[in-house]
């Protein structure tokens, strides 16, 4: 191998190391804190590396930072609101029945959540099914049916449901020839089976007014409540502590290990970490190269070529055979 070729390889490897993004790059300013009018706080993040890795790529913010959606195996759903005090999201499904449809039922799909995630469909949801096949679905007033068949009570669809008689926001929008019943599926498979035998369905979530007189402080609203876990750790609390610098909890996108995202760089503990403060001037925005690194690369590259010229001037001609005189390493 010629000296020129060897030094070319050495320079390429050296430059690739120098030009790699700094692992101490600051990301806190890259974490958006809202999407539209919905606040985005821990454990969520709409930018990779922000929030908890448990919810990585689960929320999508599009349309110029105005539209927030939840990604699930059954599709993407608009997020109406997020509650962090009572951890849940309220999402809507455009495919579900609504008051404007009246008795013009459209084809729909069943909503589902990946059971391996830290999301769960809330038991506070009620599902209304319309025009079900009575030969394949038990459609009867639930109290009477449960008295007669207590072992099959969970599998019945309540035709005397309060919600069927008082459809939220639209009263009696359905004609007399349309049947309605209320049923809570215990699994996604149950929901799919119901939809195979019913014309369509919708979900109603019971929202609390905050008056504190449960259950009379609740009112029905169309939507799907999705509960989530709040994985607060000691590291995250320390990172968020304003007396410690007030960082943003995030994670390494390669290893998914915890990172405290700070203005001057990333830390493994908190933003006032002496190690981080000492090296705050070497941080750069991820994906960019500092002027010092670039200058160093150019300087080293120049030195390499200067030395290469010197070696070539003194090296004997060996017709491609490497000897002790022209050996590079």
Convert the pLDDT of each residue in 308-317 to its tens digit. 444 444 444 4
CA dist., res. 199 & res. 131, Å (int): 5
pLDDT reported for residue 36:
95
pLDDT at position 45 is 94
**pTM attached to this predicted model:** 0.71
Residue range 288-299, pLDDT digits in tens: 333 333 444 444
Return the sign of the alpha-carbon dihedral for residues 209, 215, 219, 224: positive
Please list the ranges in the chain whose pLDDT falls under 70. 1-28, 172, 211-216, 275-329
pLDDT in tens, 150-163: 998 888 999 999 89
Q: What are 13-17's contacts with CB under 8 Å, separation 24+?
A: 14/297, 14/300, 14/301, 15/297, 15/301
């Amino acid at each position: 191998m010629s000296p020129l070729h060897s030094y070319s390889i050495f320079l390429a490897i050296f430059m690739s190391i120098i030009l790699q993004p700094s692992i101490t790059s600051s990301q806190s300013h890259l974490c958006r804190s809202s999407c539209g009018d919905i606040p985005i706080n821990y454990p969520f993040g709409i930018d990779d590396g922000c929030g908890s890795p448990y919810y990585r790529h689960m929320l999508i913010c599009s349309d110029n930072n105005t539209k927030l959606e939840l990604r699930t195996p059954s599709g993407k759903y608009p997020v109406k609101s997020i509650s962090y005090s009572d951890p849940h999201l309220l999402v809507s499904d455009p495919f579900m029945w609504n008051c404007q449809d009246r008795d013009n039922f459209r084809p729909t799909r069943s909503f589902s959540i990946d059971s391996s995630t830290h999301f769960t469909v809330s038991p506070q949801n009620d599902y209304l099914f319309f025009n079900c096949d009575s030969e394949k679905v038990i459609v009867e007033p639930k109290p009477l049916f449960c008295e007669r068949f207590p072992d099959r009570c969970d599998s019945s669809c309540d035709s005397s449901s309060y919600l069927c008689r008082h459809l939220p926001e639209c009263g009696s929008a359905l004609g007399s020839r349309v049947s309605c019943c209320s049923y809570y599926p215990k699994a996604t498979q149950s929901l799919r089976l119901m939809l195979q035998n019913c014309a369509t369905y919708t979900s109603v979530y019971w929202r609390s007014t905050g008056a504190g007189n449960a259950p009379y402080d609740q009112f029905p609203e169309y939507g799907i409540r999705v509960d989530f876990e709040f994985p607060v750790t000691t590291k995250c609390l320390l990172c968020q502590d304003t007396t410690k610098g007030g960082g943003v909890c995030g994670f390494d996108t390669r290893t998914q290990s915890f990172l405290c995202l700070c203005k001057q760089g990333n830390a493994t503990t908190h933003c006032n970490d002496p190690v981080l403060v000492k090296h705050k001037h070497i941080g750069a925005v991820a994906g960019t190269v500092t002027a010092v690194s670039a200058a160093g690369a150019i300087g080293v590259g120049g030195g390499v070529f200067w030395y290469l010229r010197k070696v070539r001037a003194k090296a004997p001609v060996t017709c491609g055979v490497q000897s002790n005189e022209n050996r590079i390493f």
